[in-house]
Structure 1
Amino acid sequence: MGGVDELQPATTASGRRVLRRLVELLEQPVVAGVHPPDKPVWHCSLHNHADDALLSDQQWARLAAEFRAGVGLVPHGDLGAVRWLGIRHGDDSPPRRPRPCSRLVTGENILMQHLIVRTRSAADLDRCVDALRVVHHADAYPLNWPADPHEWLTPPRLLRAWIADGPDGSVAGHVAVQRTLNALASQAPARHAELSRLYVTPAARRRSVASALVRHARSWAAEHGYNLTLNVTDEHRSAAVAFYEATGWQHSHTTDADWTTPDGQPVKLRHYILDSRDA
């Protein structure tokens, strides 16, 4: 990948960066269009040489972050900078042949504000437990700390799990999809799967991490013909309840849990469903 020195914005005597030339360069493809959009959407491609070694998701994320910071669009640590979305093409993608636009949502690797959402591997479990412990201490989720957190994150009915990688190598968030206890046979026209084990560390919140994780689960479920369900503790002004109800989940019923709080109090569960056609 070439350098970005020639794109580096000029600096005034007061130290302020002048972005006029960079903006003009980025807007050239936009103004050349037949029907240019009212608001600019900039696109930039990064690629390495065909003879170079394949880069990991984390390496590409760091390169993208350094490039944006280098040209002055998203300086490191500037939460008020421009919004951006990074798409990594698969290693098998031919050069100059982009994937369809639908991959913006269903692609396996979506970079958002230095985060990568990807399928969880066995090697990630220790970091997932570390993140879960932080969430439990902050929010008492899960309500009862499991005797074996590794096993709790890998239930027997597990179908798929995803994590959001932070820029420092930590796990910023996690979600899983598992078979329901009363799952119908695979030949049934409508199958159900349960969204579970969703959590985001306090340091990664307010960055749409939960939405990105759930979007991956919803897209995967739709592709595989599953209607998603979930259950959440019935608490007054629950942030989880507000999140699910604001993102299309329909409350179906409320039940008594077969477990209690640490001090022995009963727990009610709110059950939700999401039709795969809504994903």
Structure 2
Amino acid sequence: MIAKLRIGLALALAASGTLVLVPLQLISMKTGLWRETVVLKVWHRVILRALGMRVHVTGKLAPQRPLLIAANHVSWTDIPVLGAIADVRFIAKADMQGWPLVGFLSSLQRTVYIDRERRRKSGDQAGEIAGRLVNGEAMVLFAEGTTGDGNLMLPFKSTLFGAATMAIADGAAREVAIQPVAIVYTRLHGMPLGRRFRALASWIGDQDLAPHAKTLLGTGAMDVEVRFGEPVVFAAGDNRKQAARLVEERVREMFAAALREPLPAPRPKPPQTGPKA
């Protein structure tokens, strides 16, 4: 009963927030009256509030531009987690563009879609990402190419770093900063998740989105850590595979550290008492 009530309230919050913020985002995209990421940050925070997720941040987004963010990938919730704390854009699989509602909302974030199965388009897609990098947008790349179970990381795919190479090869940038970022789901209702229950957050393979979202909405009160590492500078003549391995090693180190020693759960605020008579 409590889970159903939580789901109902969470859906109401997410729906009302979306109905209010989508028109504002469309106005921003057409007029440029304010930065598009302003509305996006608010929307992502609404979604996290509905899910009951609390984000704990170590480090910060690097100031260097062009900036490519290379992160591990656990779930669709990684997007609101990062979008709520930083002015970033996302690189996503092409099939997401056709998903009902999700595709529309992703397009409002000016997501770049990549189709790794159609190699003829890969150059154009890398070129679009390179152009966005050169224009000063921080692009998030989930470098595993798919989602993991939250306990282990998959190897990074060096081919996905091609946009950084292209940005330099075209002469548009002398170097690209690649920042390692680790996303780790650590606690549920204040208690460490552990290997077994960390799968609650993960969204793997062909799992349907709606049932997974329903589970998270009913569960609530999950803590997630985002750890920003020092950027790796990628310049002309550098080896893309070596850069990918170095970034992967740094993400793995932060990932393992968060699993080993998660940040303590926030303590509830003591009740306020009025002045004594």
Higher helix share: 2
One fold, TM greater than 0.5?
Answer: no
Higher strand share: 1
RCO (CA 8 Å, sep 6+): is it higher in 1 or 2?
A: 2
Query: TM class by shorter-chain length?
Result: 0.3 to 0.5
Q: Which has the larger radius of gyration?
A: 1
**TM-score scaled by structure 2?**
0.32
